[in-house]
Amino acid sequence: MPALRPTACLALADGTVFYGRGFGATGTVTAELVFNTAMTGYQEILTDPSYAGQVVTFTFPHIGNVGTNPEDDEAAEPVAAGAVVRWDPTEPSNWRAAESFGDWLARKGRIGIGGVDTRRLTRAIRQQGAPHVALSHDPEGRFDLEGLVAEARAFRGLVGLDLARGVTCAQSYRWDETRWAWPGGFGRQAEPRFRVVALDYGAKRNILRSLASVGAEVVVLPATATAAEVLAHEPNGVFLSNGPGDPAATGEYAVPMIRSVLERADLPMFGICLGHQMLALALGARTVKMNHGHHGANHPVKNLETGRVEITSMNHGFTVDAQTLPEGVVETHVSLFDGSNCGLRVEGRPVFSVQYHPEASPGPQDSAYLFDRFAEAMAARRGEGTEGR
């Protein structure tokens, strides 16, 4: 029996081509290629705004088996440019499934490729760094390979690129949905104790739910909001969200705002992922591009102040250079994979941030206490206890 003709291909800028079977949308997209080691949560990963400008290779082979459903979206639309998987997605087998993975990708305009040797691809990414790629899906299997390699080489990359503007909200809004809990699902925060202004650099919904779950009325502002706009809401705390792209590029407008808020108000401030990098830049540190980044739900991080090791969810391709942290800023967490910075705090002030994702979705719950710490800082600033929370 003749072999089936490939209907998708992944062309790397170095000329390497991987063939496979396409699913989801048709067409061609160029992006940076990264790998994610999570065993669950492919829908949450592809809708995480931090993946803007990237195609995701899943190292776990069985992707798509549980289908998709509206509750698991971390943003209104998928943000990742495409998905690379080992085995073709099967029909969904889960009571929550509302749509198959392939149909969902097609409806959302995102390309998938199956049948790829993802182990070989992952080794290439680790050894050579996150490559620029062109991913193409044509049901007839017609590919201009030279043209695809040329498109991959022409992709400008993420260094110097501000992607937060493309994924942030167009206008401010309020959020009161709390985390999912059995059997009722998502709840509502009807009696908030705090008002938190959240800067949306590409915020995941589960981060906002986590803030609401510890007692916050959340006011979400666009990434370009000014310090005056932040303080006009009279917040009890300021949150800096996750997001995509080069932090130095986003920092051109975000850093002045953060510095101004830090100078004008002794407010608790909490940052995650890109928000962590924004805070570090505002305090005088620098960020650098990583070889292949950290993407997955099994990353060990050590809390240097307690000695505790947390298993965390991560998604970042840039990191804070710990050697550039100024006096008065303490490194609090480090990756046990490569020693890179994963957290900081300002001495004597309720200002802290982490590189990883304590809200998980997907991932472990080891670091959810950080939202409690933020709530405790807001309560302390108002002279309150935390027993009633």
> Measuring CA to CA, how many Å separate 300 from each of 297, 342, 373?
9, 10, 20
Catalytic one of 44, 294, 357, 376: 357
344 close to 280: Cβ distance less than 8 angstroms: yes
Q: Tell me the pLDDT of the chain (389 aa) as tens digits.
A: 345 789 999 999 999 999 999 999 999 999 999 999 999 999 999 999 999 999 999 999 999 999 999 999 999 999 999 999 999 999 999 999 999 999 999 999 999 999 999 999 999 999 999 999 999 999 999 999 999 999 999 999 999 999 999 999 999 999 999 999 988 899 999 999 999 999 999 999 999 999 999 999 999 999 999 999 999 999 999 999 999 999 999 999 999 999 999 998 899 999 999 999 999 999 999 999 999 999 999 999 999 999 999 999 999 999 999 999 999 999 999 999 999 999 999 999 999 999 999 999 999 999 999 999 999 999 999 887 544 33
Of 120, 154, 188, which marks where a domain is finished? 154
Containing structural domain, residue 62 = 8-154
321 and 341 both lie in a single domain: yes
Number of domains in the chain: 2
Backbone angles phi, psi at 133, to 5 degrees: -140, 160
118 and 218 both lie in a single domain: no
**Reported pTM:** 0.96
Q: How many C-beta atoms lie closer than 10 Å to residue 323's C-beta?
A: 9
118 and 190 both lie in a single domain: no
371 and 233 both lie in a single domain: yes
169 and 123 both lie in a single domain: no
Rounded distance between C-alpha atoms, residue 209 and residue 171, angstroms: 19
109 and 216 both lie in a single domain: no
The reply to whether 357 belongs to the active site is: yes
Catalytic one of 9, 44, 151, 273: 273
DSSP conformation letters of 363-386? S--TTTHHHHHHHHHHHHHTT--S
Backbone angles phi, psi at 284, to 5 degrees: 115, 5
Assign residue 331 the CATH number of its domain. 3.40.50.880
Handedness of CA 255, 261, 262, 267 (dihedral sign): negative
222 and 366 both lie in a single domain: yes
Catalytic one of 44, 74, 310, 359: 359
The reply to whether 342 belongs to the active site is: no
127 and 194 both lie in a single domain: no
The reply to whether 276 belongs to the active site is: no
80 and 175 both lie in a single domain: no
149 and 252 both lie in a single domain: no
Distance of CA 309 to the CA centre of its chain: 21
Rounded distance between C-alpha atoms, residue 381 and residue 388, angstroms: 16
Task: Identify the CA nearest to 275 among candidates 166, 354, 332, 367.
Answer: 354
